[in-house]
Structure 1
Amino acid sequence: MESQVTNNENALRLFFTDDVFVVEDKSVKIELPAVAEAVLPIISISNIEQNAPGIVVENTIIPAQKPSNQSDSYAQKVEILPIVEEPLPQKTFKFLGGNKKSVLILVNDETYDVSSEQGRELLRKIVKAIDLSTPDFALLNYANYSGATFAELEQFFKPQIMLSFGVEATHLKLNLTWAGEIILYETTRIIFAPNLHPLDSDLSSKKSLWGNLQKIK
């Protein structure tokens, strides 16, 4: 006798023509079988070597996992601001005159405020020769500010012309060599000469100075 059991979907439809509904019955509790976890015994490598001397166990070095590049990418996205040096405080100087025409006159006298009587008379002739009056220039005794650089003087006075009597280029930290001619340094025309008192009796230096003064009138 043939089996009456069938799994054919078309054949089952001939017998089950009614709709089937699935209703949850909370009163019925179905206990699921506990899942048994297989626990393998821990076998040390030393035991394997003792029990199976013919087996060679090689030490395998597992490379360290490369850390995520997330932090690297984040560091690359962070904008690194440049370090800006704070400007040095401006050095101040006490001077005579008004500096209206941006003419700086340096003297270097440790005894007098400006120079001796002969030196002051010579200075009056010099400023008159280039059509300057007291409000036009700034007169500074460098002896009171020994060590001041040209950069500091330039920052404070902004001179277009500088007449330096007894103050040499090395005093001002300038890498210049005076050869008797006007020097154009950046935007400043510079004339170097001996200090006023000895200059009054130095005919050669005085003649060179007068020649340069005519060029800046």
Structure 2
Amino acid sequence: MENQVTNNANALRLFFTDDVFLVKDETVEIAAVDSKNAVSENFSAEDHIVQQSALQPKVESIVVEKPEEETKSYVSSVEIPPVVAEPKTPKNFKYLGGNKKSVLILVNDQLNEVSTEQGRDLLRKIVKAVDLGTPDFAIVNYAQYRGTDYLEFHAFFKPVTMLSFGVEITDLKLNLVWQNEIINHGNTKIIFAPNLHQLDSDLTAKKLLWANLQKIK
């Protein structure tokens, strides 16, 4: 059977021969539509937001709970060694004599190598009184090494006996008190006396010195 459906206008006229009339119905009112404002009045901003949110896919946040970890304090097991001051480099001293018997003689004269003529003569008498020759002792002029303490002198000369003329206990940074008697400081016997030049004219100081010198002979 052939297909009965057709869109041919001449063929359709053969079937629809009756007249068709259009009649206006006055009872039906069609409200006029304002194409400019109708949409904007009924479509609010809230509706826009709702529609936009409805179109967007819903994203759910997933919260992963982690088990609480105990706070641990880590203490280094490595011990930090204490800071140790570097030892001082031993000083080198210019001196007269040989120091064979470890006798250190300190003088204090800014103008002369040892002392004045009177002072040098007195020193010769002193060393002779205790049976010392030039090879036995070491003479150092403290005026050339101001600020040097006893420990520095001791480290270099290692004196068994020290005679200090015009060099005070405070100059050598010794926590000692001179009471006109020999001081035994460690293995060293120490005698303090005025500067050689002054000592030569001080009779009382000379007597005290001679008394102490007799004890170290």
Q: Where does 1:114-153 land on structure 2 (aligned, <5 Å)?
A: 114-153=114-153
1:187 matches 2:187: yes
TM-score, structure 2 length as denominator? 0.66
- Segments ≥4 residues shifted beyond 4 Å: 41-44
Closer, same or farther: CA 105–68 of 1 in aligned 2, 3 Å: same
- What percent identity do the matched residue pairs reach? 63
CA-CA distance at 1:63 after TM superposition: 9.7
CA-CA distance at 1:188 after TM superposition: 1.1
Q: Aligned equivalents of 1:159 and 1:175: distance in 2?
A: 18
Q: Aligned equivalents of 1:160 and 1:63: distance in 2?
A: 76
Q: What do residues 116-152 of structure 1 show as CA deviations (whole Å, max 9, x unaligned)? A: 1111111001001111111110100111111111111
1:66 matches 2:31: no
Which SS does the other structure have where 2:135 is aligned? Answer: helix
Q: Aligned equivalents of 2:192 and 2:97: distance in 1?
A: 20
CA-CA distance at 1:160 after TM superposition: 1.0
CA-CA distance at 1:181 after TM superposition: 0.1
What's 1:170 paired with?
170
Closer, same or farther: CA 42–165 of 1 in aligned 2, 3 Å: closer
Which SS does the other structure have where 2:125 is aligned? Answer: helix
Which SS does the other structure have where 1:113 is aligned? Answer: coil
Q: Aligned equivalents of 1:151 and 1:101: distance in 2?
A: 19
How many residue pairs end up in the alignment?
156
Q: Aligned equivalents of 1:214 and 1:182: distance in 2?
A: 11
CA-CA distance at 1:84 after TM superposition: 3.4
TM-score, structure 1 length as denominator? 0.66
Q: Aligned equivalents of 1:205 and 1:114: distance in 2?
A: 19
1:160 matches 2:129: no
Bigger-Rg structure (1/2): 2
Runs (5+) with no aligned partner, structure 2: 1-59
Aligned AA (2:100): K
Q: What do residues 41-98 of structure 1 show as CA deviations (whole Å, max 9, x unaligned)? A: 7699xxxxxxxxxxxxxxxxx99522456x54xx22x344443332111111101011
Runs (5+) with no aligned partner, structure 1: 1-40, 45-61
